[in-house]
Structure 1
Amino acid sequence: MMSKILKNKEFFLPLLLTVVVIVLDQITKALVVAKIPPYGLGFQLFGDFFRIVHVYNTGAAFSLGHDLNPLASFLFLRILPLLIMIVVVVIYFKTKSFSYPQRWFIAGIIGGGFGNLIDRFFNSKGVVDFIDVKFYGIFGMQRWPTFNIADSSIVICGILLIISFIIQERKMKKEVTNEN
């Protein structure tokens, strides 16, 4: 009985991160919209290295697809990401082999995905982005594309999830080698 309770806790507790990411993402976006005029500068730190701005992204990552026609935009920037998020949630619940940290990472990806989907479905101007960082000409970019909390959660948790899978794979290979 206690084992089942602990398993359920390990299964559902990471989903708190999903809620935290969505709430933080929506609160920060609302603050930016309320305090900074569209395409305006809120403030900057360390010269112009880090800036809080107010922009709308009508595309996907790096504004890809911002010029799609309305039907294609609806399908590729709303419906497809929604279906992908549903698949990720189903995989989260159906896959028993994820480690506890992997569940946290997936929960962060889910939170970020739904945070941006809320904007896509309920903000006709696009996804609110506000974190603007100088990139010093790396890859030909003076500034990294502006992003938000949801984007950060997706990228950070995605990287950590990939690293965890690599570590898990190496451990499994080492165990197989040690058994032989």
Structure 2
Amino acid sequence: MKGKWMPRFQRTYLMLLVLLSCVGCDQLSKTIAKSSLEKSPPISYLGETIRLQYAENSGAFLSLGSGFSKRTRTVLFTVLSGVLLVALVGYILYNQDIGRGHTFALSLILGGGVSNLLDRVFNDGKVIDFLNMGIGNLRTGIFNLADVVIMTGMALVVLLNLRLRRRRAAVEDFSDAGSETEFEDEA
């Protein structure tokens, strides 16, 4: 991920801005969902395409692992997630080769992960989910804004890496022998 160099304070600022925005929006949406949806039937919009439905998820994304023992879930989804999120903070702050695009994308993943981790810590190992999409019987699982933010960050990382790979291939095809070129993954 060789990118345009960003001073650490800029990476820190961008990371904190994205992190706090993601956590704030997700936690607010979960508070509203809990107060308005917890004891009510699902609410549908756009002909059942979007459904608001309260659920508490003890597993990972789309309830993966919800059948594990509580101890295993705690180790995997709270302790291990926390360690990985701390490692991600370190990667964002101390890797000088990542640029703005990757910093933003990784900060989205961090923000969603931290918000879901906060749920697990303060909600007995469970995450509040409330969004469901689909057409007829073809539906997603129930998810939350943090899940959307994590998936958006992951998609951005993939797209940025594909773009960087194409640029490198193009430069290799057209560069002079013996010349070195720096690759910038963001403008």
TM-score normalised by the shorter chain: which range applies? 0.7 to 0.9
Q: Is 2:35 the counterpart of 1:34?
A: yes
The answer to which structure has the higher helix fraction is 1
Structural RMSD (CA): 2.1
Kept after mapping to 1: 8 A contact 2:74/2:125: no
Kept after mapping to 2: 8 A contact 1:56/1:125: no
Q: Which residue of 2 aligns with 1:148?
A: 144
* Cα offsets for 1:141-179 (capped at 9, x unmatched): x21011111000000111011110111121122212221
Kept after mapping to 2: 8 A contact 1:11/1:103: no
Match of 2:171 among 161, 170, 175: 175
Q: Which residue of 1 aligns with 2:94?
A: 94
Question: Alignment identity in percent?
Answer: 22
- Residue 31 of structure 1 aligns to which amino acid in structure 2? I
* Cα offsets for 1:102-148 (capped at 9, x unmatched): 111111110000010001111026100011101556xxxx2101111
Change (3 A) 1:125 1:48: farther
Q: What SS class does the counterpart of residue 128 from structure 2 fall into?
A: strand
Kindly state the Cα deviation for residue 12 of structure 1 after the two structures are TM-superposed.
2.0
Q: What SS class does the counterpart of residue 131 from structure 1 fall into?
A: strand
Q: What SS class does the counterpart of residue 13 from structure 1 fall into?
A: helix
- Normalising by structure 1, we get a TM-score of 0.87
Q: May I ask how many residue pairs the two structures share in their alignment?
A: 172
Kindly state the Cα deviation for residue 17 of structure 1 after the two structures are TM-superposed.
1.1
- Normalising by structure 2, we get a TM-score of 0.84
If asked which structure has higher relative contact order (CA below 8 Å, sep 6+), I would say 2
Q: Any stretches of 5+ residues in structure 1 without a counterpart?
A: none
- Residue 107 of structure 1 aligns to which amino acid in structure 2? S
Q: Any stretches of 5+ residues in structure 2 without a counterpart?
A: 177-187
